[in-house]
Each structure stands twice: as C-alpha cells, then as structure tokens.
C-alpha cells in the first residue's frame, strides 16, 4: 500500500485555487491513500465566526468533498483532508476520509487550539476508524497529537494508520509526538502539515512544514521540507501494524492495565 502526504501553502479564502494546487501536486505521483493538511482549501487564520460560516461547507454534499470524491474515483484511491464543516448553525474543524464510492468517515476536531476555541464548535463525534483499501485508517486533526488518549483510542478500535491533517505552528512538537504515538501504539502515522505564513489577526502565524510518515517502530519513513510545497509517498505493509508484540513476553495493547489508569481527579471508589 502506498501512502502519500501533501504539503501545501494555501491562500486564505481562495478555495478553488487551493483545491486545484493540492490536486496538481497529487497528480504528480500515485498513492492508495493521500493525506492533505487541516483546512487545506480555506486557510487557517480566521478572524471571526462569520468568516468560518461563510467558508464552511456541508459534508458530504459541499463542493470540496464532492471534488475529493471525484478525484478518488478517477484515481482509484482514498483521500483524507481537513475541512471547515457546516451543520446547521454549528461549524467544525473537521476531517473527512473519502473513496471512490463517496464519504467513508468524518471526524470533528475534539481538541481545539488557541483561537479555534472562539470560532469553531468542539467536536461531537467519536474518533473514527474505517477501512480504506488495504488498511484500517483512523483520523486525528492537528492539536489532537498532544493527547495520547486520542491516538490510543484509534489503536484500540483497530486503526493501522493514523491520518493526521495539521496546520502546525509549534516547531518540532507534533513531529516528535506523532513518532511517539506510532511507537506506543504500533501504528503508522501520516502527518500532512502546511507551509507559509498568515498575518490576518493580531499575530503572524508561521507554519512549520516537515510533514512526515512514521512506522509502527517509530522510524521516520519520510519527512518533507520546512518551507516548500511538495509531496512524499512511501510504500507500507499494514500488517506490520497488526502485530503489537515488542518481544515474546510483551504486547503494547494486551499488557495494558486499565484498572490503574483512572483520572486522579475522579472520585475514589
């Protein structure tokens, strides 16, 4: 199975051209699963909830989701992408997994970061795992990387690949944590970050690039540059993520002791 990550530099609000640029990059190679950045067609730095509403699209009937499904159908692949999703009066920083037959799974970001907490509604769907060709794929979005419970939930639900659309501004953090998430859960992780900068609010955001794919052993299979739009494609064997053994005595999931993991803030039994 071939996994591809796409690293773009979207212009805020230019949905059609941002989609065209991402598609242009994907056309230069072949992959069974592509992972695109968070909010890849809208840009990230919203300055009001009204902007979020204006650029939000329904899932799966919005133009971006339909275009991704059409691409997946034409190329015989699956695509994960971050979108500004509208549902009624609510807006979500969301991710979708689509394939040739349409929408496969969606996720709404649970751990909102910084000013996202002002513009987006918090996620209200379970962490999803769905089959995408040869692999079971789980979805996270950006800041979810800092919460080990999120990736562990996906692993316990059978994820073999964690697709991670992102717009990272804290240099090096997610590149480190997603290697750890891969190692501690015995899964592949594929982080698609963006590059460039946005200066639409009181703060200039500089995106860190360095999108990466990591093996279940925590090995870096590919890492992209910090500044350029580009893609990376690697061949993986999803079966490697099905064997959680560290040695003949230890298993990353079977050795868990959940009875000792209670939140210390919870009342004692």
Query: Mind telling me the catalytic residues?
Result: 38, 109, 142
Domains and CATH numbers, the chain: 2-244 (3.60.110.10)
The Cα 121–Cα 140 span in angstroms is: 16
SS3 of 194-216: CCCEECCCCCCEECCCCCEEECC
Q: What residues pair up with 184 in beta bridges, in sequence order?
A: none
Residues in CB range of 45: below 8 A, 6 or more apart:
12, 198, 199, 200, 201, 205
pTM for this entry: 0.96
Over its length of 269 residues, how does the chain's per-residue pLDDT go in tens digits? 999 999 999 999 999 999 999 999 999 999 999 999 999 999 999 999 999 999 999 999 999 999 999 999 999 999 999 999 999 999 999 999 999 999 999 999 999 999 999 999 999 999 999 999 999 999 999 999 999 999 999 999 999 999 999 999 999 999 999 999 999 999 999 999 999 999 998 899 999 999 999 999 999 999 999 999 999 999 999 999 999 999 999 999 999 999 999 877 766 54
Nearest 5 degrees, angle CA 114-CA 117-CA 122? 130
- HSE (CB half, 13 Å, CA atoms) of 197? 6
The β-bridge relationship of strands 161-165 and 188-192 is parallel
């Amino acid at each position: 199975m071939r996994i591809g990550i796409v690293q773009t530099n979207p212009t805020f609000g230019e949905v059609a051209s941002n989609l065209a640029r991402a598609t242009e990059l994907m056309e230069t190679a072949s992959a069974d699963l592509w992972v695109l950045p968070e909010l890849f067609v809208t840009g990230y730095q919203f300055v009001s909830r009204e902007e979020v509403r204006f650029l939000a699209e329904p899932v799966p009937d919005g133009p971006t989701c339909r275009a991704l499904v059409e691409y997946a159908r034409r190329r015989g692949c699956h695509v994960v992408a971050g979108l500004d999703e509208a549902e009624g009066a609510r807006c979500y920083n969301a991710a979708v997994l689509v394939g040739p037959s349409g929408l496969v799974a969606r996720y709404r970001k649970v751990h909102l970061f910084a000013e996202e907490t002002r513009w987006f509604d918090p996620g209200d769907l379970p962490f999803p795992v769905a089959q995408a060709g040869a692999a079971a794929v789980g979805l996270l979005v950006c800041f979810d990387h800092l919460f080990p419970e999120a990736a562990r939930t996906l692993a316990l639900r059978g994820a073999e690949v964690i697709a991670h659309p992102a717009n990272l501004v804290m240099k090096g953090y997610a590149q480190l944590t997603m290697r750890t998430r891969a190692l501690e859960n015995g899964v592949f992780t594929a982080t698609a970050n963006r590059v460039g900068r946005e200066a639409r609010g009181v703060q200039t955001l500089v995106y860190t690039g360095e999108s990466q794919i990591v093996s279940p052993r925590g090995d870096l299979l590919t890492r992209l540059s910090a500044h350029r739009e580009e893609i990376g494609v690697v061949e993986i064997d999803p079966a490697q993520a099905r064997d959680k053994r560290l040695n003949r005595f230890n298993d990353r999931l079977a050795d868990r002791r959940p009875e000792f993991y209670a939140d210390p803030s919870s009342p004692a039994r």
